[in-house]
Structure 1
Amino acid sequence: MVYRYESDEDAFVEYPEHGSDLSVLGPGSPPPAGPSPSRFPTPSLPRTTRVAPPPAEPARPPAPEPARPPAPEPVWEPAPAPAAAPPHAPVDPSAAPVAAPPPRRGGGRMWQVVVGGTAVLVLLALCGLGGAALLSERGGDLITPPTDQPAAADSAEPEANDLDSRDTDQVPLSAKEVFPGQQLAVTEGQPAYRVLKTQSSGSCAVAATGEVAELLVRLGCNQVVRATLRTADGDHLVTAGLFNLTDRASAERARDRIRQVLDERQGRFRGMAADEKSEAIATAPARVGWQVRGHYLAYALVARSDGEPVRSGDTKVREILFDMIELHLNQGVLERRADGGVAAQPTADPDDGTGSQD
């Protein structure tokens, strides 16, 4: 091992011990007088880090035959004394030992690089998965066959009632359709009404007077089909029929206005006499009812056969109105016309559209 001495004192050895490497100088050789200069010159290299020298050891001149091979360290050639050497003498890099660089303390930075790289990889993986899912979803939408029929069925509005307008119900009414025979059995097991006379007219004014007739014409009524009937016991006469208006809206406007006109006695429905025995239906005070289904206004008026006024609590008159308007005209004639109940429009109780007329 070759050491670099920092001063002459580090190289001074006064009496080497017996058996040391310095005993090769031979017995009886006196030690050199005064401090011995170092045998090896001090290299002039830029020092980045000053390394503290090891403890001083006696100077050991080279032995003729070293007892052990020296460590694989570079050997410097002898040079003049250190005092005569220039402060910065050039040194051959191939011969000068290169101090080992201090270990770099990059462990923390290395961990940061590793953690950062891992985070980037995870982020890229997540982005790849999200993009794959999005492409898969879009691809599923693209290859899904169109289902026009179910979508149309879900989003389509309910079909309009065939009876809501004359545009969808263009076939005119007929007397045979509304009153097909001379006997009208409304309820099974109950006595039938006897049909005295039927009429189908393109002028709605023949079935009404005053403002009622004007209202019907103004709202587009172009047909009325009616009949006069007698109850099985002969005590009451009834004229019932259907007004054919433009659409449901016009029929509802007529329904709402008729009550006010009747209360103000500005018009009335006309009863149709079939013979002298049925004159009371056209002249006597009567009880009247009406209701709307589609673009039709169904009505009926009931009078006593003897011409006497109808009592307000006469339940028989209420039953006749219900039979004619609800059971026969609505659930019978118009239901068949709507083709087996396709139009499920609820109807109002005839009591909601009833009144009296003189």
Structure 2
Amino acid sequence: MVYRYESDEDAFEGRPRPGSELSTIGDAGPAHTGPSPSRFPTPSLPRAARPAPPAPPPAPPPGPAPSRGAPPFSPPATRAAATTQPLDLPRNRRAQEPGRSGGRLWQVLVGGAAVLVLLALCGLAGAALLPDGTSQPQGTPSLPAAAAPSPSHTERQDIDSRDTDRAPLTAKEVFSGRKLTIGDGEEPYAVLKTQSSASCPTAATGEVADLLVQLGCNQVVRATLRSPDEEHLLTAGLFNLTDVATAQRVRDRLRELLDGREGRFRGMPAGDGTEALTDAPSRVGWQVRGHYLAYCLVVRADGKPVKAGDPKVREVLYDLIELHLDKKVLERRATGGSTGQATAAPGGTD
């Protein structure tokens, strides 16, 4: 933003995211039964004499001892004891099997109960994760809200040239009502008069007016307003130039012309009490966006000179040029917004 005093002071610029135990049973084969061979050696008998006789032979009479090569005699009772002893161990093992079966059954019951408890807990956890009893099929992710297209989305419009931005400005578009509110909760500016004209020299004098005509200005829309504190009057508006290049040429040339007092912007009187806009020392600011030149002229309502560094004047320039004309009016036009407003403007059109 560029701004200056209409006084002897210099102009300046400024812009105020392994197994179980059960698996080893029976793998080693049947246990060894009967007496060990070392304690009950097997007699060495001829093959013909190995079958047992049908009846035991009578006891021999007392006589001489048998010969050295005869085998020792084994009493029948001892042999019977030897053959019946191995039968006791299998009977004992069969007696123990009911106990083992009972242990296995108990382990199965305990394991089954644990599985049921685990399944019940999983079911409760799943129900807690799905409120209101609703569920969503897996593999069907929900789209984020940002992915949905916005129904109010509009394409941006190129405002760098009148060839792409052909619709002319209107007073309703730039100043839509009798009050102009810059921000929520702030006191409004009073809009005293509006004007839309095809003659740009109506808003300027001298070399400034000639420069606007030479560079293709074909429209100016402006308004006179009173500040919320009623201590300042201002005239602000937009000049419509051919393209962004010519608007920038006007911007760059303005400082030289104003400093040399070769022309100025005109204040627009709006009735009684606004005469200071025509003859009081003023402060002016301007800025370019697209093929438009936004400007604002501020004076004290009492006609006194504006003090250097007056914060109220700087605030007025910023409100009108930066926040209203640029961020609101021209931004709405660049985004394809409506150019008309429902509220009637308070002024006229030339």
SS at match of 2:201: helix
Report the equivalent of 2:100.
Answer: none
Report the equivalent of 1:196.
Answer: 192
2:277 counterpart (276, 281, 287)? 281
Q: 1 CA distance for matches of 2:336 and 2:282?
A: 33
The 5 Å alignment of 1:176-325 reads 176-325=172-321
2:158 counterpart (148, 162, 169)? 162
Q: CA deviation at 1:340?
A: 6.2
CA contact (8 A) 1:224 1:242 kept: yes
CA contact (8 A) 1:161 1:294 kept: no
Code of the residue aligned with 2:186 in structure 1: it is Q
Q: Unpaired segments of 5 or more residues in structure 2?
A: 1-154, 338-350
SS at match of 1:276: coil
Q: 1 CA distance for matches of 2:157 and 2:335?
A: 11
Code of the residue aligned with 1:205 in structure 2: it is P
Q: 2 CA distance for matches of 1:336 and 1:163?
A: 11
Q: Which moved more, 1:167-176 or 1:275-284?
A: 275-284
Report the equivalent of 1:332.
Answer: 328
CA contact (8 A) 1:165 1:247 kept: yes
**1:179-204 Cα deviation digits (max 9, x unpaired):** 00000001111110000000000000
Q: Which moved more, 1:171-180 or 1:274-283?
A: 274-283
**1:120-145 Cα deviation digits (max 9, x unpaired):** xxxxxxxxxxxxxxxxxxxxxxxxxx
CA contact (8 A) 2:281 2:299 kept: yes
**1:213-245 Cα deviation digits (max 9, x unpaired):** 000000000000000000122100010000000
What stretches of structure 1 move > 4 A for 4+ residues in a row?
none
**1:73-101 Cα deviation digits (max 9, x unpaired):** xxxxxxxxxxxxxxxxxxxxxxxxxxxxx
The answer to whether structure 1 residue 171 and structure 2 residue 177 are counterparts is no
Q: Alignment identity in percent?
A: 68
SS at match of 1:277: coil
SS at match of 1:241: strand
- Count of residues paired in the alignment: 183
SS at match of 1:325: helix
The 5 Å alignment of 1:95-110 reads none
Alpha-carbon RMSD: 1.5
Q: CA deviation at 1:161?
A: 6.3
Change (3 A) 1:259 1:250: same
CA contact (8 A) 1:304 1:310 kept: yes
SS at match of 1:187: coil
CA contact (8 A) 2:157 2:165 kept: no
SS at match of 2:273: helix
Q: 1 CA distance for matches of 2:252 and 2:157?
A: 21
Q: 1 CA distance for matches of 2:156 and 2:184?
A: 32
Q: 1 CA distance for matches of 2:265 and 2:215?
A: 16
Code of the residue aligned with 2:251 in structure 1: it is R
Change (3 A) 1:160 1:256: farther
Q: CA deviation at 1:276?
A: 2.1
Q: Unpaired segments of 5 or more residues in structure 1?
A: 1-158, 342-358
The 5 Å alignment of 1:26-45 reads none
Question: Relative contact order (alpha carbons < 8 A, sep ≥ 6): 1 or 2 greater?
Answer: 2
Q: CA deviation at 1:160?
A: 9.9
SS at match of 2:283: strand
CA contact (8 A) 2:226 2:232 kept: yes
SS at match of 1:309: coil
CA contact (8 A) 2:174 2:221 kept: yes
Change (3 A) 1:197 1:249: same
SS at match of 1:221: coil
